[in-house]
């Protein structure tokens, strides 16, 4: 799934950047959020590409003997860069906390310098504490939860139906950022994730350094992800009780269901988890691995990019109605859906006794559905587009500072430079240390 | 409401709905409670557990041994090859013990013939289904003698077992003993071929009195049980 995720993320990121360049009529908040999400996708794509190349037989047959190699450095560096964007993104979208031109102009240099500083520090400390930087997801929780509940309450209590777009955007962002941790909510609630964390540390070969910083990072994200999905569950249940179930409610209940089953499965395999500590590490049952492949991994690798795409298109971050953007948007939407569908079918085929003839037929049906419903899918995504910035402007809560196009494009340019620096730095450092 | 971008106004806007604030405060409190007890479990308790694995412990492994013997006495004719099988399942292996190696001593006693000259005796351990270390360099699978001395053969059954005390680094006792708790070794039959070639002075035995030999095979089965102690 990782190579597919690399293609999906990179393709979507690059296409979004192209579409953003053609959407100059968008307000500063939409454009900056678009750049940030697009570069986040590009960095995740490059991260997955580095991981995929490391797994190829070509790379494993080379004479690399050191613990870290060029692609390992790239993997960690792009991960850190994406995490720094994730940390700053909630200050811009869906409810911009930074609204003054001076702070908006700081976003690009802060992301650039913050990424570079953490990348270099981690490189010099051999990534012993890289897990700690998961705390960079904290702002997404602290900002998106109040935004979600404020606008959900306004919709439910004050009858403001347009407030839904704000709570929906905040909810989708929470799922996009904490999706993986949300599927472990029950395990975190009954506090058994620490046993998994300890097992993975022993499996990786416990070193003499302190694991405390990494474990702080894991605990914070797992806990925030757990509370985020439970909060969304409460909020969506409240909404569903009055307005009925919609697509987002179903997604929330699906994740809650997956987390419930995963928690029970995790509890069932605790003896295997603990075997590392008391006897010798036993392997997890195959069915347990398959379950996680189809839930947590699929959510993280395949559906998170789709959720980001949904934010970009549904909330009009990209001007998808413009004639010059429409064909490209259509191609990319259909392509993404097809890639994800075919990957899921291939995964199913890997353990179910389904002949390739049947799986090809299923894929053909999926293609037919996507082609037949292309107009409908696009209309759902684009025609009902609800701009977050327009909603905030209507509430008179969005400042329109004096920001030039160049100031906004600085983010994209600085991320381009950061990418080049990361590649050169990783190449040099891996050559010197390796 | 404000659109001047002041941080104070923005925070005031975000927290402007009382019902929303109640949900938010409840979520934040729940997050703090969850963080506190999962944080304790992960960061404090698990750090203690994992610290035992940060550096491997040193263990000393000694071996208690016990022997079992089997014997066969065969009268072998001149120029005959005789195969003798010892079924190792016939021996009594105490609880916790495993077969380490097997020593075989083949003795012949020259009695027949006028001269009493020693006959040529050869013994071979034949490789078969017996689960053993057939390629161990310490094995001695073949021997021959024509001076009435015993022939000694050896075969290692358990991998790397030589009875010597070992010091091992491992993260726990189980893993330290992992190489010494394997089962399945020493199952099958020990197969020994005996060859006899009668010797007479100057090659002459006119009365034909030296035509066979009584050969005794003593099989000493060395069994071991590992004992472990942690070195300080």
- Is pLDDT above 70 for B204? no
Does B53 sit within 8 Å of A206, measured CB to CB? yes
Residues B125 and B163 in one domain: yes
Helix (H, G, I), strand (E, B) or coil at B86: strand
Indicate the number of domains in chain A.
1
> How many domains are contained in chain B?
2
**CATH code for position B135:** 2.60.120.380
Task: State the pLDDT at residue A63.
Answer: 65
How confident is the model over A397-403, as a mean pLDDT?
85
Q: Are residues B65 and B170 in the same domain?
A: yes
Of A147, A146, A232, nearest to A181 by C-alpha is: A232
Q: Which residues pair with B156 in a beta bridge?
A: B101
Rounded mean pLDDT, B134-161? 90
The shortest CB-CB distance from A223 to any of B17, B38, B50 is to: B38
Co-location of B95 and B184 in the same domain: yes
d(CA A127, CA A73): 9
Co-location of B32 and B63 in the same domain: no
B138 in a structural domain: yes
Summarize the confidence of residues A95-106 as an average pLDDT.
Answer: 90
The answer to whether A151 contacts B20, with C-beta atoms less than 8 Å apart, is: yes
Q: Which SS3 state, helix, strand or coil, does residue A320 take? A: coil
Is A227 in CB contact (< 8 Å) with chain B?
A: yes
Residue B144 has pLDDT above 80, yes or no: yes
| Closest chain B C-alpha to A158 CA, distance in angstroms | 10
Task: Please report the pLDDT score of residue B200 as a whole number.
Answer: 67
Instruction: Answer whether residue A375 shows pLDDT above 90.
Output: no
**What residue of A is the nearest CA neighbor of B41?**
A194
- Searching chain B, which residue's CA lies closest to the CA of residue A96? B10
Distance from CA of residue B121 to its chain's centroid?
33
pLDDT value at residue A365: 82
pLDDT over 70 (residue A272) = yes
Tens of pLDDT, residues A14-28: 988 988 888 878 888
ipTM attached to this prediction: 0.88
Residue A434 has pLDDT above 70, yes or no: no
Q: Is residue A422 part of a domain?
A: no
Residue A348: what pLDDT? 72
Q: What does the pLDDT look like over A200-249, one tens digit per residue?
A: 887 776 666 677 888 899 999 999 999 999 999 999 999 999 988 888 99
Is A236 inside any structural domain?
yes
Q: Mind listing the pLDDT tens digit for each residue in A282-341?
A: 888 888 888 888 888 888 887 888 888 888 888 888 877 777 777 787 777 777 777 777
**For A393-422, what is the mean pLDDT?**
89
Q: In this complex, is the C-beta atom of A365 within 8 Å of any C-beta atom belonging to chain B?
A: no
| Cα dihedral A136, A140, A143, A145 sign | negative
DSSP-H helix ranges across A183-211? 185-189, 193-204
In terms of domains, do B26 and B97 share one? no
Closest CA to A289 of A264, A265, A253, A267: A265
Which has the closest alpha carbon to B70: B102, B107, B108, B109?
B102
- B74-111 pLDDT tens trace: 888 888 888 999 998 888 888 889 999 999 999 987 65
Q: Which domain holds residue B215?
A: 58-230
Please state, in angstroms and rounded to a whole number, the distance separating the CA atoms of residues A274 and B66. 35
**Nearest-CA neighbor of B121 among B134, B104, B102, B136?**
B104
- d(CA A322, CA A307) in angstroms, rounded, equals 22
Phi, psi (5° rounding) for residue A260?
Answer: -65, -50
* pLDDT given for residue B54 in this prediction: 65
Residues B17 and B81 in one domain: no
Tokens of A422: 């990361």
**C-alpha distances in Å from residue A410, one per residue of A36, A103, A110, A160, A296:** 11, 14, 12, 37, 35
Closest CA to B145 of B174, B124, B169: B124
Sign of CA dihedral A225, A226, A231, A232: positive
In this prediction, residue B124 carries a pLDDT of 93
The helix/strand/coil state of B221 is: strand
Is residue B2 situated within a structural domain?
no
User: Would A64 be classed as within a structural domain?
Assistant: no
Average pLDDT over residues B197-204: 67
In a domain, A238, yes or no: yes
Say what the pLDDT of residue A303 is.
82
One domain, residues B40 and B91: no
Asked if A222 is an interface residue toward chain B (Cβ–Cβ < 8 A), one would say yes
- Same domain? For B69 and B43 the reply is no
**The pLDDT of residue B18 is above 70:** yes
Specify if B190 maps to a domain: yes
Provide mean pLDDT across the span A148-159. Answer: 92
User: Can you give the residue range of the structural domain that contains A208?
Assistant: 133-284
Does B141 map to a domain? Answer: yes
- Which one, of A356, A140, A101, lies nearest residue A231 by Cα? A140
**Who wins on pLDDT, A426 or A279?**
A426
Q: Does A98 map to a domain?
A: no
B21 and B93 inside one domain:
no
CB pairs under 8 A between A and B: 144
Whether B1 has a pLDDT exceeding 50, the answer reads no
Contact indicator for B116, B220 with CB cutoff of 8 Å? no
- Residue in B with minimal Cα distance to A220: B35
Q: Find out whether the peptide bond into B39 is cis, omega within 30 degrees of 0.
A: no
CA distances to A212, A228, B21 from B28, in Å: 23, 10, 10
Report yes or no on A200 lying in a domain.
yes
- Would you state the pLDDT for residue B169? 83
CB B128 within 8 A of CB B87: no
Contacts B41 to A, Cβ<8 Å: 191, 194
pLDDT for residue A412: 92
pLDDT of residue A209: 65
What local confidence, expressed as pLDDT, does residue A406 receive? 87
Are B73 and B162 found together in one domain?
yes
Average pLDDT over residues A339-356: 73
Q: Which of A294, A36, A280, A318 is CA-nearest to residue A177? A: A36
Percent of chain A with pLDDT over 90: 41
pLDDT in tens, A376-389: 777 776 655 578 88
**Helix, strand, coil content of chain B in percent (nearest 5):** 25, 40, 35
Q: Residue B226, SS3?
A: strand
Q: Which residues of B touch A100 (CB under 8 A)?
A: 5-6
Q: Are residues B13 and B43 in the same domain?
A: yes
CA distances from residue A193 to A140, A211, A289 in whole angstroms, order as listed: 22, 15, 16
| Residue B1 lies inside a defined structural domain of this protein | no
Arithmetic mean of pLDDT over chain A:
86
Mean pLDDT (whole number) for A351-366: 76
A256 inside domain: yes
Helix (H, G, I), strand (E, B) or coil at B43: helix
Residue B14 shares a structural domain with residue B84: no
Q: Taking 80 as the threshold, does the pLDDT of residue B27 lie above it?
A: yes
Q: What percent of chain A has pLDDT over 70?
A: 94
* A-chain residues near B46 (CB < 8 A): 194-195, 197-198, 215
Compare all CA atoms of chain B with the CA of A399 and give the residue at the minimum distance. Answer: B3
Among the listed ranges A129-143, A386-400, B144-158, which one has the minimum average pLDDT value? A386-400
Distance CA(A211)–CA(A130), nearest Å, equals 10
State chain B's maximal CA–CA distance in angstroms: 131
Q: Taking CB atoms and an 8 Å cutoff, what residues of chain B touch A150?
A: 14-17, 20-21, 24
Whether A263 has a pLDDT exceeding 80, the answer reads yes
Range scoring the smallest mean pLDDT among A300-314, A404-418, B213-227: A300-314
How far is Cα A308 from Cα A85, in angstroms, rounded to an integer? 14
Residue A176, in any domain of the structure: yes
């Amino acid at each position: 799934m990782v190579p597919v995720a690399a293609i999906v993320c990179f393709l979507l990121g690059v296409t979004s950047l192209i579409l953003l360049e053609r959407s100059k009529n968008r307000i500063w908040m939409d454009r900056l959020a678009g750049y940030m999400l697009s570069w986040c996708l590009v960095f995740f794509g490059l991260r997955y590409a580095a991981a995929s190349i490391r797994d190829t037989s070509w790379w494993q047959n080379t004479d690399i003997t050191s613990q870290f190699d060029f692609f390992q450095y790239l993997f960690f560096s792009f991960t850190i860069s994406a995490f720094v964007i994730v940390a700053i993104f909630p200050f811009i979208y869906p409810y911009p906390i930074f609204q003054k031109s001076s702070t908006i102009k700081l976003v690009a240099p802060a992301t650039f310098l913050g990424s570079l500083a953490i990348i270099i520090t981690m490189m010099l400390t051999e990534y012993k504490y890289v897990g700690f930087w998961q705390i960079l997801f904290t702002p997404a929780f602290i900002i998106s939860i109040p935004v979600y509940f404020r606008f959900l309450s306004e919709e439910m209590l004050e009858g403001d139906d347009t407030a839904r777009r704000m709570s929906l955007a905040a909810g989708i962002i929470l799922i996009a950022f904490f999706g993986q941790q949300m599927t472990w909510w029950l395990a975190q609630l009954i506090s058994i994730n620490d046993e998994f964390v300890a097992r993975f540390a022993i499996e990786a070969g416990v070193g003499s350094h302190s694991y405390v910083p990494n474990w702080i990072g894991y605990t914070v994200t797992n806990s925030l992800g757990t509370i985020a999905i439970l909060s969304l569950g409460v909020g969506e249940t409240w909404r569903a009780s009055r307005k009925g179930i919609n697509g987002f409610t179903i997604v929330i209940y699906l994740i809650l269901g997956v987390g419930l089953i995963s928690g029970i499965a995790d509890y069932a395999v605790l003896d295997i988890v603990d075997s590392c500590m008391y006897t010798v590490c036993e392997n997890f049952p195959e069915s347990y691995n398959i379950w996680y492949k189809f839930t947590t991994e699929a959510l993280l690798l395949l559906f998170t990019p789709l959720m980001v795409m949904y934010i970009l298109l549904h909330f009009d971050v990209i001007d998808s109605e413009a004639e010059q953007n429409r064909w490209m948007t259509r191609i990319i939407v259909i392509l993404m859906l097809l890639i994800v569908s075919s990957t899921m079918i291939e995964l199913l085929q890997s353990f179910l006794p389904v002949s390739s003839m049947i799986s090809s037929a299923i894929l053909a049906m999926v293609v037919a559905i996507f082609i037949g419903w292309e107009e409908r899918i696009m209309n759902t995504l684009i025609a009902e587009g609800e701009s977050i910035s327009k909603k905030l402007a209507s509430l008179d809560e969005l400042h329109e500072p004096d920001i030039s196009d160049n100031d906004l494009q600085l983010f994209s340019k600085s991320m381009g430079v950061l990418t080049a620096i990361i590649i050169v730095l990783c190449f040099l450092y891996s050559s010197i240390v390796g | 409401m404000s659109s001047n971008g002041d941080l104070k106004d923005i925070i005031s806007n975000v927290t402007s709905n009382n019902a929303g604030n109640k949900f938010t405060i409840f979520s934040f409190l729940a997050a703090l409670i969850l963080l506190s007890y999962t944080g304790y479990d992960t960061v404090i308790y698990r750090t203690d557990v994992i610290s035992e694995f940060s550096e491997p412990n040193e263990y000393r492994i000694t071996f208690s041994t016990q022997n079992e013997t089997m014997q066969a006495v065969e009268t072998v004719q001149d120029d005959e090859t005789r195969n003798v099988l010892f079924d190792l399942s016939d021996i009594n292996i105490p609880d916790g013990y495993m077969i380490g190696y097997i020593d075989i001593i083949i003795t012949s006693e020259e009695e027949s013939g006028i001269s009493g000259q020693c006959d040529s005796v050869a013994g071979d351990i034949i490789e078969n289904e017996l689960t053993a270390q057939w390629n161990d360099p310490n094995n001695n699978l073949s021997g021959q003698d024509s001076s009435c001395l015993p022939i000694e053969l050896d075969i290692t059954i358990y991998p790397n077992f030589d009875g010597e005390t070992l010091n091992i680094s491992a993260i726990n006792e189980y893993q330290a003993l992992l190489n010494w708790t394997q089962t399945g070794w020493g199952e099958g039959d020990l197969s020994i071929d005996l060859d006899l070639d009668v010797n007479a002075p100057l090659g002459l035995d006119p009365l034909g009195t030296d035509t066979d030999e009584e050969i005794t095979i003593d099989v000493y089965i060395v069994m071991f049980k590992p004992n472990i102690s942690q070195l300080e």
